[in-house]
Amino acid sequence: MKRLIGTRGLPALFVSIIALVSLAAGTSSASTVSGPATKTFSFIAKPNSRTVTVVNVDSLLINARCDAKGSPVIFAFTSATSADIFGRMFDGFGRGHIIKNSAFTKTSKGVSLSPAVSGDYNSSGTVMFETSTGKVVTVNYAFDNATTLVKQNVCTVYGSVIAT
């Protein structure tokens, strides 16, 4: 036992332990991709702005614009043949809104990421997107109407994207 713990035997002991742990852990059927990319986005515009793409990654496209009143209008689209999009958004009054489409395809209408918000537009949400090929995108976002940024009469949509 003394010889095993010596300077030459210690690395062999560690390798043996790691091999046993690996065998005991088994294998997973889930596919994973290492090295996801994280990006941020920010959209700031006056009322009646044109539509701008704020996210375009792994078959997910998110557009934003400001309507005539300075309220944000946000929609998600996909170029995938089959995908899912699920999420939740909380508005400035604390009301929860569910975002879902389990048959999200390139022929689908856009999915609103700012659904039924009225009054206080201080809102934030998260949506998860997955394609049938295993691409996964997570979008954390927030938006506000024309009273935002010290009443500059602009709407804003901003957040971060994590993609495979």
For the chain, what are the domain ranges?
37-163
pLDDT in tens, 89-101: 999 888 999 999 9
CB 160 within 8 A of CB 140: yes
pLDDT in tens, 39-69: 999 999 999 999 999 999 999 999 999 999 9
Query: What is the helix, strand, coil percentage profile of the chain, to 5?
Result: 15, 45, 40
Task: Confirm whether pTM is higher than 0.85.
Answer: no
